[in-house]
């Protein structure tokens, strides 16, 4: 009963907060602004939405292909279909249960390929490290292009970079202490946890052992280029956004990326369009146009992930019936 309640709260609270924020934002808009927001969404060009969806699909495919480079040093040579469907299943899982996608992705590939769960999970951690490095690079680029607007946005959100750095440092120190305690403990439970963590470490080290490091780096760059492009082309879909400068688009992309990384990654991401709208508003773009931009990119990519991820749930056991 308690576990069920906790799961419900973990999923329900972010969704509730998201819905409340949307209601609050819309209630502050006048009737004309709300009508303009809805009109901008309704009249979005489906061609450019389709281009954005295609770019998103390709980025997911490259992510699945890149994963093979990390799994190969572990003696695992997964079918590309299984790798891709495991990635898409993870996206669907994240829509419902916070941060469950990475776990389910590792469970899925371990179920259908010759690799242990903890090793597969370790490779996913390695992926996240590579993606974090690219995100930092994108943030640096955005700062260079429009540092003033980005600082204004973070200030409006009361985000202090020094507090963020301090929190990360404290968390890292706590993690090191916990690992040391677990490593040298004679407690049976902690010894089992230590064995599990060693398996994860083996998977994480695969990034150092893989043969095609150049291809891995190149494909990591491609993934993020496609991420940026799928966000950028939406300016041609939303009315009156065609002339939006590249620097403004980059700032909005960065703010949106941070909003995703600081929420549960699922339906609680609803405030994403509000954040995009707020960033564009700093550049003098009407709030309703900016929010329409956010709704179109978020909504279209979510539908894509649900359709392909849902199909993957069904196809995985069918295509691997003999395993």
For 250-259, what is each residue's pLDDT tens digit? 888 888 777 6
Please tell me the predicted confidence (pLDDT) of residue 267: 46
Lowest mean pLDDT among 14-28, 135-149, 211-225: 14-28
Whether the model clears a pTM of 0.85, i.e. scores above it, the answer is no
What DSSP character marks residue 264? Answer: -
Please tell me the predicted confidence (pLDDT) of residue 268: 44
When comparing pLDDT for 50 and 321, which is higher? 50
For 180-192, what is each residue's pLDDT tens digit? 777 777 777 777 7
When comparing pLDDT for 142 and 217, which is higher? 217
Mean pLDDT within 41-66: 90
Question: What would you measure as the largest C-alpha separation in the chain, in angstroms?
Answer: 67
Q: Supply 139's token pair.
A: 């943030």
Please tell me the predicted confidence (pLDDT) of residue 56: 93
Does residue 92 contact residue 85 with C-beta atoms inside 8 Å?
no
End-to-end Cα separation, the chain, in angstroms: 35
Please provide the size of the chain in residues.
323
Per-residue pLDDT band at 35 (split at 50, 70, 90): low
Q: Which helix (H) or strand (E) holds 60?
A: helix 46-71
What gap in Å lies between CA 71 and CA 120, rounded to an integer? 7
Q: Is the pLDDT of residue 79 over 60?
A: yes
Please tell me the predicted confidence (pLDDT) of residue 130: 83
Please tell me the predicted confidence (pLDDT) of residue 60: 94
Share of the chain above pLDDT 90, in %: 16
For 226-245, what is each residue's pLDDT tens digit? 999 999 999 999 888 888 88
Please tell me the predicted confidence (pLDDT) of residue 174: 81
What gap in Å lies between CA 81 and CA 315, rounded to an integer? 10
Neighbour count for residue 124 (Cβ, 10 Å): 22
Does residue 200 contact residue 122 with C-beta atoms inside 8 Å?
yes
When comparing pLDDT for 277 and 202, which is higher? 277
Average pLDDT, the chain: 77
What gap in Å lies between CA 289 and CA 34, rounded to an integer? 10
Q: Supply 46's token pair.
A: 């489906």
What gap in Å lies between CA 132 and CA 128, rounded to an integer? 6
For 129-167, what is each residue's pLDDT tens digit? 888 778 878 887 777 766 666 566 666 656 565 666 677
Mean pLDDT within 7-15: 51
Q: Supply 120's token pair.
A: 């597969």
Q: Which residues are CB-neighbours of 166 under 8 A, at least 6 positions away? A: none
Please tell me the predicted confidence (pLDDT) of residue 171: 73
Q: Which residue has the tokens 């549960």?
A: 264
For 136-202, what is the HEC assignment? Answer: HHHHHHHHHHHHHHHHHHHHHCCCCHHHHHHHHHHHHHHHHHHHHHHHHCCCHHHHHHHHHHHHHHH
Please tell me the predicted confidence (pLDDT) of residue 280: 87
Please tell me the predicted confidence (pLDDT) of residue 51: 96
Q: DSSP letters of 7-34?
A: HHHHHHHHHHHHHHHHHHHHHHS-HHHH
Q: For Cα atoms 273, 277, 279, give the angle at the middle one, nearest 5 degrees.
A: 120
What DSSP character marks residue 270? Answer: T
Per-residue pLDDT band at 50 (split at 50, 70, 90): very high
For 258-289, what is each residue's pLDDT tens digit? 766 544 444 444 467 778 888 888 888 888 88
For 281-313, what is each residue's pLDDT tens digit? 888 888 888 888 888 888 888 888 888 988 888
Q: Supply 136's token pair.
A: 């930092």
Q: DSSP letters of 271-292?
A: THHHHHHHHHHHTT--HHHHHH
Lowest mean pLDDT among 33-42, 195-204, 243-252: 33-42
């Amino acid at each position: 009963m308690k576990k069920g309640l906790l799961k419900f709260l973990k999923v329900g609270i972010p969704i509730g907060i998201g819905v409340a924020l949307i209601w609050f934002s819309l209630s502050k808009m006048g009737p004309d602004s709300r009508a303009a927001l809805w009109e901008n969404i309704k009249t979005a060009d489906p061609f450019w939405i389709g281009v954005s969806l295609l770019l998103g699909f390709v980025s997911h495919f490259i992510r699945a292909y890149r994963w093979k480079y990390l799994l190969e040093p572990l003696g695992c040579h997964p079918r590309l279909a299984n790798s891709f469907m495991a990635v898409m299943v993870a996206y669907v899982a994240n829509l419902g249960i916070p941060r469950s996608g990475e776990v389910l992705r590792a469970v899925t590939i371990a179920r259908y390929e010759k690799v242990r769960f903890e090793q597969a999970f370790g490779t996913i951690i390695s992926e996240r490290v590579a993606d974090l490095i690219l995100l930092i690079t994108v943030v640096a680029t955005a700062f260079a292009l429009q540092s003033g607007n980005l600082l204004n946005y973070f200030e409006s959100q009361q985000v202090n970079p020094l507090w963020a750095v301090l929190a990360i440092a404290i968390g890292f120190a706590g993690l090191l202490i916990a690992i040391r305690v677990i490593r040298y403990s004679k407690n049976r439970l902690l010894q089992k946890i230590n064995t599990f963590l060693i398996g994860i470490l083996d998977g994480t080290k695969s990034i150092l052992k893989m043969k095609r490091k150049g291809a891995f780096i190149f494909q990591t760059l491609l993934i993020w280029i496609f991420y940026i492009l799928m966000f950028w082309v939406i300016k041609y879909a939303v009315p009156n956004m065609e002339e939006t400068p590249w620097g403004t688009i980059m700032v909005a992309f960065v703010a949106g990326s941070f909003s995703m990384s600081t929420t549960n990654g699922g339906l609680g991401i609803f405030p994403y369009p509000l954040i995009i709208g707020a960033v564009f508003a700093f550049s003098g773009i009407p709030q309703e146009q900016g929010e329409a931009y956010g709704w179109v990119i978020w909504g279209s990519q979510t539908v894509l992930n649900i359709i392909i991820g849902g199909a993957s749930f069904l196809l995985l056991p069918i295509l691997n019936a003999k395993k």
